[in-house]
Amino acid sequence: MKLRSSFCRLAVGLLVASAAIVVPETAAYSAAFPAARTKPRDYPIPSLGCLRPNQLPIGQTLEQTITSGGNERHYLLHLPEGSRPGRPTPVVMAFHGRKGNGHDIEAFSGIDALPAIAVYPIGMPGEANEPAWQSAPYAAPVDDVQFVSDLLDHLQHTLCVNPHRIYATGKSNGGGFTALLACQLPHRIAAFATVAGAFYPGTTVGCSTSPPVPYLDFHGTADPTIEYNGGTSHGQPIPALPDWMAAWAAHNRCTTTSNTVIGTDVTEFAWQGCADNSPVKHYRIEGAGHTWPGELVDSGPGSATHTISATDVMWTFFRKHPLGLT
């Protein structure tokens, strides 16, 4: 098994021309990534739960708790139809946005329908007593990366998890936290997908020394909450999506780009030739708001495309990228 290798920090610029994303030769965007401060378990471990009979109902969503960092932490768990004792099963963790409760992203995403253990962690109350995730200025001062590591330990101790097929996604603040996990748990989680991500400066902690990872992103051009062309949110800078994606392409040492128009409102930008079989993809959704593509119920302000389903696209992407197997 080949583990992802570390990389030297790169900076890259990005030009938008002729409706295509192009990475120029000279760097116009520089990501000054700070070093990581926490040391959670960042390596695959055996799933001892494969040796235990499953005691949980299949096809139902249950609220569960663990203790992490001295706090009682909550999460929702849904075992897929067709689960069998002793059969290693993928895990998809989905992180809600600010003010979310897990049930919301479960409802609009349809992740429960995937052939995977669906896990919806719940953030600790932060500013205004609203649940949120580490990396945002309004989040509680807790170590959510450690919580995710502890949660995975617990899941693998009690359930039959495929340790090479653990994936993470999230929307808004949950998308920003997913990006942080891509930098801090790259040897534990196989691939990452962000939707309408709130990429505060805290989402890049540890990226300067983290290895390439498969990374997928969706964002609407009319997002009223996290603007596609960047700006500020809660007093902190938010990068333009072209710059954010260019930084990830540089991070993964990608060499070529392409774009494909899908329907009337979706353009897929893809970077190939990336190190460690870690491609980068971005779906630009024309006119879409702060929403989940293919939403099953309302997912946020503004319109949502049904040209693609973010859940279906990311599952196809995830399946192609198990951890450590290139």
Model confidence over 247-293: pLDDT tens digits?
A: 999 999 999 999 999 999 999 999 999 999 999 999 999 999 999 99
* Contact of 65 with 155, CB cutoff 8 Å: no
Residue 2 has pLDDT above 70, yes or no: no
Helix or strand or coil: residue 259? strand
Q: Mind listing the pLDDT tens digit for each residue in 185-240?
A: 999 999 999 999 999 999 999 999 999 999 999 999 999 999 999 999 999 999 99
Which position has the token pair 């190190």? Answer: 275
* Contact of 225 with 196, CB cutoff 8 Å: yes
Neighbouring-strand partners of residue 272: 256
Cα dihedral 139/125/229/247 (nearest 10): 50
13 or 153, which is more confident: 153
Q: How far is it, in rounded angstroms, from Cα 239 to Cα 250? A: 15
CATH 3.30.530.20 fits 39-319, yes or no: no
- The per-residue pLDDT for 136 is 97
State the Cα angle at 321 between 244 and 144, rounded to 5°.
Answer: 60
Q: What is the DSSP string of 1-31?
A: --PPPP--------EEETTEEE--SS-----
Domain residue limits, the chain: 39-319
Q: How far is it, in rounded angstroms, from Cα 299 to Cα 109? A: 8
Confidence of residue 39 (pLDDT cuts 50, 70, 90): confident
Q: Mind listing the pLDDT tens digit for each residue in 48-103?
A: 999 988 889 999 999 999 999 999 999 999 999 988 888 999 999 999 999 999 99
